[in-house]
Structure 1
Amino acid sequence: MDYHELDPRGLIAEAYRIEGISAPECRAIFLDWALGRPEGQETAEMETLLAYYGSAAPDHPMSAVLREGLEGPASTAGRRGGARGRRSTPSRED
């Protein structure tokens, strides 16, 4: 497997090289990486990148971010704001 194909801009690789990088910084790098990937291929690529980089650095913040990404999207349940939220709720007359 050519890891450069999965991370052509080297974003994930560079995150693992940055000493003292934080989880929020890794999330921003991950988002940039994910937006540059073809839709629908991210999960398999994350698994491969996590196996490659995460095995050597399991406690690295980027390893945690990749594991979170594999768990799926965050829940979108909850309050919806804006016009969309007002349309789905019956109007109340006071």
Structure 2
Amino acid sequence: MDLREADPKGLIRESYRIEGISDAECRSIFLDWALSLGAGTDQRAAMRFAMEHYSTDPAHPMSLVLAEGLTRATEAPSRRGGRAGRVSA
């Protein structure tokens, strides 16, 4: 994987350059970044690559958002939505 594939618009790179960026702003940038990835791009690999390449401070809000994305992606959904979640089998 290369930077062009992992961060096609440079959104993750720019988020690390913004002084005083908030957690909410990082989450918004993360969503835009995820939507900008090409079809078939491994999102987890792209998150790891971007984090390894850009992150210099593990306490930076974008580092925390990326780390959360990596851990949450491995968790199984806890419940189903819609009718299946309301009606027992």
Tell me the TM-score range normalised by the shorter chain.
0.7 to 0.9
Relative distance call for 1:22 and 1:13 in structure 2 (3 A) is same
Q: 1:58-89: CA deviations, max 9, x gaps?
A: 21100001101111347643584x66655x35
In the other structure, the counterpart of 1:49 is: 50
Question: What is the letter of the counterpart of residue 14 of structure 1?
Answer: E
Relative distance call for 1:77 and 1:67 in structure 2 (3 A) is same
Between 1:29-38 and 1:11-20, the stretch displaced more is: 29-38
Once residues 14 and 70 of structure 2 are traced to their aligned partners in structure 1, the CA distance between those partners, rounded to angstroms, is 20
TM-score by length of 2: 0.76
- Whether 2:16 is the aligned partner of 1:16: answer yes
3-state SS, counterpart of residue 26 of structure 1: helix
1:5 Cα offset (Å): 3.0
Question: What is the letter of the counterpart of residue 36 of structure 2?
Answer: G
Q: Which has more radius of gyration?
A: 1
Structure 1 unaligned runs (5+)?
Answer: none
Between 1:8-17 and 1:30-39, the stretch displaced more is: 30-39
TM-score by length of 1: 0.73
After TM superposition, what 4+ stretches of structure 1 lie above 4 angstroms from structure 2?
82-86
Structure 2 unaligned runs (5+)?
Answer: none
Question: What is the letter of the counterpart of residue 60 of structure 1?
Answer: H
Paired residues in the alignment total 87
1:7 Cα offset (Å): 0.9
Once residues 50 and 12 of structure 2 are traced to their aligned partners in structure 1, the CA distance between those partners, rounded to angstroms, is 8
Percent same amino acid among aligned pairs? Answer: 49
1:4 Cα offset (Å): 3.0
CA RMSD in angstroms comes to 2.4
